[in-house]
Amino acid sequence: MRVTVIGSGYVGLVTGACLADVGNDVLCLDVDPAKIALLEAGGICIYEPGLDEIIKRNVEAGRLRFTTDVRRAVEFGTLQLIAVGTPADEDGSADLQYVLGAARNVGKYMNDYKVVVDKSTVPVGTAAKVNAVILAELERRGLEIEFSVVSNPEFLKEGGAIDDFMRPDRIVIGSDDQNAIHIMRTLYAPFQRKHDRLLIMDTRSAELTKYAANAMLATRISFMNELALLSEKLGTDIELIRQGIGSDLRIGWHFLYPGCGYGGSCFPKDIQALLRTAAGVGEELKVLAAVDQANERQKSVLVDKVVARFGEDLTGRRFALWGLSFKPDTDDMREAPSRVIIAALLRLGACVVAYDPAAIDESRRIFGGGDDRLSYADYPMVALDGADALIIVTEWKEFRSPDFQTIKAKLKTPIIFDGRNIFDLHDDGLKGIEYFGIGRVSGM
């Protein structure tokens, strides 16, 4: 099939590359010429394990191309997959300007039948808006061309995006057009060989399904984070409680990890957007509002622990910080707790030496070179030199089994603030280290 992917960010690139990998002809469009130039030169603008090989393989096979030429892109694909950003507007609602801009372009240049597929996360009712925008463009051109708008929200997670796309738990298709559904079924057939994972529903339900999924996952995290705060007060260990409840099949293990707050490009903005959607129809989502508030508080928990240990004035203090990305296996720092933590430490007068396997460039871009109290180390252990303590913000695998002797030798005082509970409290290596986790009694 000929597929155009509109927007070549995390979702667009992964979608385009995976669809090309199963034999489709894919053209990825972006409005950012630098992004496309980099892709055409064999580079890639994001860090996602396995993605560069798939892109390379399919570019070489001639199945995957990139362009900034809107007309060419619209003319190319029978399928027009919209995967542009839907950032939060000032009031928290989803900003649809990019989605509707992409739809307008489709209406402006289409000359034959198109299935316009919304992969971006969009509020209920957006498919109808996309439909109206395309119709208006066609009317303006004096043309009557058949098309169908399908809602097909994306559930991939950064860091595991390829696997998620290639082996999805489910594929949600919102449409009542049998021809479009048939095309979508054909598109996704290679990704569901063991059994049918397609869930066909109306567009509005499909749109809400995506928000509901993210809201549920965020709720589990905030619930555990609150229990962790309680656990600390009661002198219990949240990790034992996590195991105690996760083993209940009705609860399960996923998204039960307490930490220093969730971040990323999706949960925070999608929760805000869902709250706005609910408010718009006079419904107050009390649980979800609390999920969001609890997360905001949680992002400060590590700094609170630092202040409790070192005092309000951190002038002259130096902290090693491991992990900048909002989660492992990505360089994405959108809404990352590290941003709040670094800003707070600098505000309180401290110096921060950060290490991250993938996100240092992104951090430099975000924080700029304005404050020389924030610097970066090329290796995790180098960040520790002369630091007062180590703060762990992201649970990258490489942090899980460090040489504790070296940590003790390099830190001025052997103190670890572990925002992700990556160590076993009974690990011999922690002996002689003042250890502050989340929701567990600090040890020595």
Catalytic annotation, residues:
266
Candidates 26, 27, 35, 414; binder of ligand NAD (CB under 6 A) is 35
Choices 8-16, 357-365, 371-379, 427-435; region in contact with ligand NAD by CB under 6 A: 8-16
What DSSP line would sit under 43-57, residue for residue? --SS--TTHHHHHHH
Angle at 308 between CA 430 and CA 332, to 5 degrees: 70
Residues 46-85 that bind ligand NAD (CB under 6 A): 83-85
Q: How many CB atoms lie within 10 A of CB 250?
A: 5
Choices 31-39, 179-187, 199-207, 234-242; region in contact with ligand NAD by CB under 6 A: 31-39
Q: Contact between 12 and ligand NAD (CB under 6 A)?
A: yes
Q: Contact between 10 and ligand NAD (CB under 6 A)?
A: yes
Q: Contact between 171 and ligand NAD (CB under 6 A)?
A: no
Choices 153-161, 252-260, 290-298, 378-386; region in contact with ligand NAD by CB under 6 A: 153-161
Q: Contact between 11 and ligand NAD (CB under 6 A)?
A: yes
What residue has token string 């293990």?
Answer: 253
What DSSP line would sit under 84-121, residue for residue? ----B-TTSSB--HHHHHHHHHHHHH--S-EEEEE-S-
Query: What are the structure tokens assigned to 18, written together?
Result: 């995976």
Q: Contact between 5 and ligand NAD (CB under 6 A)?
A: no
Q: Contact between 92 and ligand NAD (CB under 6 A)?
A: no
Candidates 4, 24, 58, 120; binder of ligand NAD (CB under 6 A) is 120
Q: What is the Cβ-side half-sphere exposure of residue 47, based on CA atoms within 13 angstroms?
A: 16
Binding mask 251-270 vs ligand NAD (x if CB under 6 A, - otherwise)?
A: --------------xx----
256 is in an annotated binding site: yes
Task: For residues 161 and 238, give the distance between their C-alpha atoms in angstroms, rounded to a whole number.
Answer: 29
Residue 413 — φ and ψ, nearest 5°? Answer: -125, 135
- CB 434, CB 413: distance < 8 Å: yes
Q: Contact between 98 and ligand NAD (CB under 6 A)?
A: yes
2 is in an annotated binding site: no
To the nearest 10°, the Cα dihedral for 52, 58, 60, 61? Answer: 170
Footprint of ligand NAD (CB under 6 A): 6-12, 29-32, 35, 83-86, 98, 101-102, 120-121, 154, 156-158, 265-266
